[in-house]
């Protein structure tokens, strides 16, 4: 079991550890930073959905409502790590990123809520990027060599995305109609519903 002794010693949390924390710690708050549509498809029971764009816009307000034991969840860990860094700048230095995201927790036997099956956002990004590269190469061969520039632009974008740990394509795709939920989280529904902790303490093992 992961037993972090300090707030900065460990930021990754194994699914098995989260399973035990859920039953052992009443102060635990699990924040899922995926889109509302991804959250509807499958999420950890009892977790709160605060999509990364919403968290980024209201980081200080969210930080004020989080206690000493916070676990951030996404699909693979990338968006959760971005959320951890943002919360760190607002004074939350005890947040953990769930290894393997929500799918990893489900695979480890964790209690999840299943909903409508959708492609997760990261899979959609891979499909879009791959399709654009193929289109650029094919267009460069059969239409005009200039179209090959498209493949280069996508490659440069993916490199920048990895270097900065951001994804402009993902943000764009998340706004598409098929990725919208009938109940999109708002500041009031996603953040203000969280209870304000009495005190913030370093979590014990």
Which pLDDT value is given to residue 198? 64
Q: Across 3-7, 17-21, 160-164, 174-178, which has the greatest mean pLDDT?
A: 17-21
Which pLDDT value is given to residue 84? 95
Which pLDDT value is given to residue 203? 53
Q: Which residue has the tokens 């005190």?
A: 199
Which pLDDT value is given to residue 113? 96
Closest CA to 95 of 61, 58, 53, 62: 62
**Digit-coded pLDDT (tens) for 66-109:** 988 999 999 989 999 999 999 999 999 889 999 999 999 999 99
> Average pLDDT in the 129-141 region?
82
Q: Would you list the domain boundaries of the chain?
A: 12-118+181-191, 121-178
Query: What class is the 12-118+181-191 domain?
Result: alpha beta
Q: Residue 63 half-sphere exposure, CB side, CA atoms within 13 Å?
A: 18
């Amino acid at each position: 079991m992961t037993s972090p002794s300090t707030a900065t010693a460990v930021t990754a949390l194994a699914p098995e550890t989260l399973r035990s924390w859920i039953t052992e710690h009443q102060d635990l708050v699990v924040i899922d930073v995926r889109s509302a549509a991804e959250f509807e498809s499958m999420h950890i029971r009892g977790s709160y959905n605060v999509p990364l764009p919403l968290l980024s816009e209201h980081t200080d307000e969210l930080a004020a409502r989080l206690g000493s034991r916070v676990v951030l969840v996404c699909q693979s860990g990338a968006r959760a790590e971005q959320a951890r860094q943002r919360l760190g700048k607002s004074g939350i230095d005890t947040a953990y990123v769930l290894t393997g995201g929500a799918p990893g927790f489900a695979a480890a036997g964790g209690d999840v809520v299943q909903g409508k099956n959708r492609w997760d956002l990261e899979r959609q990004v891979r499909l879009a990027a791959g399709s654009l590269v193929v289109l650029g190469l094919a267009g460069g061969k059969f239409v005009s060599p200039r179209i090959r520039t498209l493949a280069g632009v996508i490659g440069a974008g993916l490199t920048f995305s990895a270097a900065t740990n951001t994804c402009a394509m993902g943000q764009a795709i998340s706004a598409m109609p098929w990725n919208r939920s009938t109940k999109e989280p708002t500041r009031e529904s996603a953040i203000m519903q969280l209870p304000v902790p009495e005190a913030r303490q370093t979590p014990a093992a």
